[in-house]
Amino acid sequence: MSAEFELSRNITIGQYLPTDSVVHRLDPRFKLAAFVIMILAIAICGTYVGNLFALAICIAMFWVSKIPLHYGLSGVKPAIPFIIILATLQLLFYGEIARGGTVYFQYGFVTISSESVRLVLVSAMRFVEVIFLSSVLTLSTSTTELTHGMERLLGPLQKVKFPVHAFALIITIAIRFVPTFAMEMEKMMKAQASRGADFGTGEWWRIIRRTKDMLPIIIPLFNVALARAEDLILAMEARCYMPGASRTQYTHYKANGKDYAALIISIFISVIMLYIPW
Amino acid sequence: MTADHPIIRVENVSFSYKVNQDQQIPVLQNVSLDVYPGEYLAIIGHNGSGKSTLSKHLNGILTPKTGDVYVNQINTRDRERIYEVRSQVGMVFQHPDNQIVATIVEDDVAFGLENIGIAAHEMRERIDASLEAVGMSAFRHRPPHHLSGGQKQRIAIAGILAMRPQCIVLDEATSMLDSYGRQDILAVIRKLHREGMTIVTVTHHMSEVAEADRVVVMEAGQIVLQGTPREVFAHQQRLRELHLDVPDASRIAALVHQEWEPFSPNLIVNEEVVEEVNRHVIKQAEASGT
């Protein structure tokens, strides 16, 4: 029963784990750029071997950044139902579109061919790869570094009046409050459960009932979120924050050899992934 | 002290919250108050007395409906100079979690400095100094959600200190903390005050009030009592009417005084009660000739 309420323990996004590895020390601009390149490659690559290779690289990333793999796995766990639903839907409905290869099974509109099986397996692998990669990114990069990186990478957009800084700040704050709200939600679940509310005893297929069960948590959570937002605005204003005003930056990044190397390696890995023919 | 110019001058300030189109709730009514450099001022009052609203006027977070607030001669209505106002009067709020913007302690301390356009190399110095001042240097690379409430509040104070203000306003900054956290914050405040910082604290912990130089009591949006803690706590009856407590020391002293005239009723800290008791014990001993 107790594990059911331990939400803050299961959340990996926005939780920096300082192990001071080479990945941690990368210039966030380069790290982010490398990440985007890898994600694009994962999105495009549709082969078994290419994805196995990518999966191996992602797992290796945990080792390189000295982060225990279970951090990544705990990020995958909540995604498993989605992966299964996605896989089922793809298996049932994508046979017509992903034609080709050997047909294993056909009944009515359901066609299962080697191509549709490949699509299913590859999507599942992609899912896991993306979760692993983003976990490594967020565990090895403080969110401030992340947003700084993003801010610098998006910098040129300022010329077309895109509010780059405000955008970066919104993301920082969103990420900053994830553990806070997880803790808050934990508290609320305990409070409601102690008054007899019932989470998770409804059968899993009764989706409407289970959704309704969550209402006594979601509504107060929104309430608290708004109150917190109001407080935060005051605190930010009290520290001279003005939207749109020019600010200086505490952190200055200077890229060196290892940053360029990381970028080149990520391009290299992507090219291999895309050129593996199977 | 009165010879100096006040850091903050509140002149006939009234303020009300708008409930809907034709209903307003008055929160402050003609409040005037000066805060002098180096002073330790406590504002007390029960919930809804307007004390928090008043404190939010001190650095232009709220601007008065009528009347004016000046910070070093700058009117807080002057939006062009609001940076100056807010970097001179810093503010620490009640909820430790809701004032931290960044995900790493030192970045959070840097937030205010980035806003006022301090150059990067100077920021480093200031961040070092202010984390040192609140005793949190060892935590500079930690994520804030791993810190205790008291530690988070110390970070919030460091974030303000880095901006080199002349005055810090604490808006019930200790009310969400456990007693260890509160003692930590009070120690920091005491130290800052000794070093010349002007402190304004809004609180309902009477033991904190006893340390202040001056106490202002608010009721229904007005200042109803004012003076040194000793003067204010002498009005026990009045304070009780305002649903305010007095420090335990004051209550004990008053009770003993009722029973036994020579005992001084006007004590505000625990040590004074001990001293007073000792004094009488010694006197008695002398009187009985031993």
Would the CB atoms of B110 and A232 count as touching at under 8 Å?
no
Nearest to A248 among B94, B106, B118 (CB): B118
- Is the pLDDT higher at A57 or at B204? A57
Chain B residue with CA closest to A228: the answer is: B98
Q: Do residue B129 and residue B259 come from a single domain? A: no
Answer whether B95 sits within 8 Å of A180, measured CB to CB: no
Mutate to test the interface with A, among B103, B104, B109 (most CBs of A within 10 A): B103
Residue B234 in any domain: the answer is: no
Same domain, B26 and B100: yes
pLDDT at B193: 94
**A contacts of B160 (beta carbons < 8 Å):** 239
Which residues on chain A are in Cβ contact (under 8 Å) with B145? 179-180, 183
The verdict on residue B38 lying in a domain is: yes
Q: Give me the residue from B59, B103, B115 closest to A247, CB to CB.
A: B115
pLDDT of residue A182: 85
Check CB contact under 8 Å for A228 and B113. Answer: no
Tokens of B54: 């008043």
Give the pLDDT confidence score for residue A202 in this predicted structure: 66
Do B190 and B286 fall into the same domain? no
B168 touching chain A per CB within 8 A: no
Q: Using pLDDT thresholds of 50, 70 and 90, give the confidence band for residue A12.
A: very low
Tally of domains in chain A: 1
Is B161 within 8 Å of chain A by CB? no
Residue A100, pLDDT > 80, answer no
State residue B2's pLDDT score: 46
B131-147: pLDDT as tens digits: 999 999 999 888 888 88
Same domain for B135 and B58?
Answer: yes
Mean pLDDT per 10-residue segment, chain B (290 residues): 76 88 86 93 90 91 92 90 90 90 87 89 92 91 85 92 93 88 90 93 86 91 91 87 84 86 83 87 81
**B238 in a structural domain:** no
Evaluate if residue A125 carries a pLDDT over 80.
yes
pLDDT at residue A9 tops 80: no
CATH number, domain at B47?
A: 3.40.50.300
Query: Would you say residue B239 lies in a domain?
Result: no
The pLDDT value given to residue B31 = 93
* Within a domain: B270: yes
| A157-173 mean pLDDT | 83
Nearest to A248 among B93, B114, B143 (CB): B114
Q: B189 near B170, Cβ under 8 Å?
A: yes
* Interface contact A143-B95, CB threshold 8 A: no
Together in a domain, B15 and B141? yes
Q: Does B56 touch chain A (CB under 8 A)?
A: yes
What is the rounded CA–CA span in Å between residue B171 and residue B201?
Answer: 6
B163 inside 8 A of chain A by CB: yes
* In a shared domain, residues B184 and B276: no
Q: Say if the Cβ atoms of B120 and A239 lie within 8 Å.
A: no
Domain range for B288 is 247-290
Instruction: Give chain B's domain count.
Output: 2
Do B123 and B256 sit in the same domain of this protein?
no
Q: Are B146 and B264 part of one and the same domain?
A: no
Q: What is the pLDDT of residue B22?
A: 79
Kindly state whether residues B44 and B146 are assigned to the same domain.
yes
pLDDT of residue A99: 65
A250 to chain B: closest CA residue: B120
Please name the residue of chain B whose CA is at the shortest distance from the CA of residue A252. Answer: B120
B162 and B283 within one domain? no
Q: pLDDT averaged over chain A?
A: 84
Give this complex's ipTM. 0.83
Q: Do A228 and B97 lie within an 8 Å CB cutoff? A: yes
Contact (CB, 8 A) for B87 and B74: no
pLDDT at position A277: 78
